[in-house]
Amino acid sequence: MKADISFKDDDLAHKTIPLRWWKAHHRTYPTRAILAQEYLGAPGSSCAVGRLFSAASDVCSTSRGSLLPATMSHIVSSLMWRRKEVPLSNEFEEAGKALEALSLKKNR
């Protein structure tokens, strides 16, 4: 995903709090605002770490041992976003449909 966001000097005041900026602009950039909230608002709590390890255990297995670490990271991030019901758009819609089909097949 490429971010094509133009900022005005007023938007980038040194005292701007990133989460407040994204909250103010969430209608303009809805998907990016959700992702920013997820990324910027992630507390370093044991609960958040537990959810991350849970997602990683759902993805990482011996059958996927040949995947690159970056690929594993992308898969875990995608799974976390799906669990948070982050809306998918553009090129991510097709991937989302494929993941949904796999989830339905797994739950049968």
- HEC string of 40-86 equals HCCCCCHHHHHHHHHHHHHHCCHHHCCCCHHHHHHHHHHHHHHHCCC
* Contact (CB, 8 A) for 7 and 24: no
The answer on 14 and 56 residing in a single domain is no
The reported pLDDT for the residue numbered 44 is: 59
Are 79 and 52 in contact by the 8 Å Cβ rule? The answer is no
- Confidence (pLDDT) at 12: 60
Both 12 and 62 in a single domain?
no
Residues 32 and 51 in one domain: no
Number of domains in the chain: 2
Q: What is the pLDDT of residue 105?
A: 66
Q: Which domain holds residue 73?
A: 44-108
- Res 10: pLDDT: 60
Residue 14: per-residue pLDDT:
58
DSSP state at residue 87: P
Judge whether 1 lies within some domain. Answer: no
Domain match, 49 and 86 both: yes
The per-residue pLDDT for 1 is 55
For the chain (108 residues), the mean pLDDT of every run of 10, in chain order, is 62 68 84 80 67 74 74 77 74 71 67
- Do 32 and 52 sit in the same domain of this protein? no
pTM of the model: 0.39
pLDDT of 11: 57
51/101 same-domain check: yes
